[in-house]
Amino acid sequence: MALPPEDLRDKIAPSILSADFARLGEEIRAIEKAGADMIHFDVMDGHFVPNLSIGIPVLESVRKVTRLPLDAHLMISEPARYVEAFVKAGANSISVHCEVCPDIPAMAKRIHDLGARASIGINPETDADRVLPFADQLDMILVMSVHPGFGGQEFIPAALDKLRYIRRELKRRGLSIDVEIDGGVKLDNIAEVKAAGANVFVSGSGIFGKPDYSKIVGEMRELIAQTPAKI
């Protein structure tokens, strides 16, 4: 599902995992006002990852307070059981991990049939070649740059080589899909991940840990706008 080239723009996707959940509505309005392009929504089941987070009822509530696209990142062992509920609750794109997705084409079709964008996530230890053969059926590939499960971890530098490899392979095959980077992305490394080929930038603690969301989102946007992809 290659996007028309004009849609393949850089997008900043704050991860609300690092937001103040007691004030989630306000946090989302603030991040929208700050210029976020989409909201990254991390779902953890305590099984695929060693942590629990938020799920369908919270996504439904978030849907009511923003018009921004909701980017649901399912870090769960049995995604097939839940994709429909997440799309019905208002998710615009669904990322399912390849490590728990035995049939990527069937999953992509299922997500598309439900009316959402289909994405496949890749953990740091997983080879990108598990997903690349199916890239023509996807809207996005999500590259994890931390071991999933927790916000606030250090960026794993090997993710840069994986990004370059993925973007080169996509280019070679004439595919212009989104490549999302997730984990440890902050103002001090966002230019490097842009240069390596990412165009969707998830940042949790790098944004919600700051006092002024407009300032940090603006600074990130400026850096990614100034940095060409070097692939």
Which residues sit at the interface with ligand DX5, rule CB under 6 A? 15, 17-18, 40, 42, 73, 146, 148-153, 182-185, 202-206
Name the catalytic one among 10, 37, 42, 178: 42
**Min CB(74)–Zn ion separation in Å:** 9
Per-position x/- string for 59-78, each x denoting binding to Zn ion as judged by CB under 5 A, each - no binding: --------------x-----
From Zn ion, ligand DX5, none, which one binds at residue 189 (CB under 5 to 8 Å depending on kind)?
none
| 73 versus 117: smaller Cβ distance to Zn ion | 73
Residue 182 lies near Zn ion (rule: CB under 5 A) = yes
From ligand DX5, Zn ion, none, which one binds at residue 153 (CB under 5 to 8 Å depending on kind)?
ligand DX5
Is residue 113 annotated as part of the catalytic site, yes or no? no
Residue 11 lies near Zn ion (rule: CB under 5 A) = no
| 142 versus 170: smaller Cβ distance to ligand DX5 | 142
| 50 versus 105: smaller Cβ distance to ligand DX5 | 50
Tokens representing residue 33 in the block: 């006002």
CA-to-CA separations, 219 to 7, 32, 183, 191, in angstroms, rounded: 22, 15, 18, 11
Is residue 42 annotated as part of the catalytic site, yes or no? yes
- Chain centroid offset of residue 2 CA: 17
CA dihedral 62, 66, 67, 72 (to 10 degrees): -30
Contact present, 151 and 204 (Cβ < 8 Å) = yes
Q: Which residue is nearest to Zn ion (CB)?
A: 73
Helices (H), the chain: 24-33, 56-65, 83-89, 104-114, 158-172, 190-195, 205-208, 213-226
Contact present, 94 and 119 (Cβ < 8 Å) = yes
| 17 versus 108: smaller Cβ distance to Zn ion | 17
| DSSP annotation string for 46-83 | SSSSS-B---HHHHHHHHHH--SPEEEEEE-S-GGGTH
Tokens representing residue 157 in the block: 């530098």
Q: Catalytic residue numbers?
A: 42, 182
Which chain residues interact with Zn ion by CB under 5 A?
Answer: 42, 73, 182
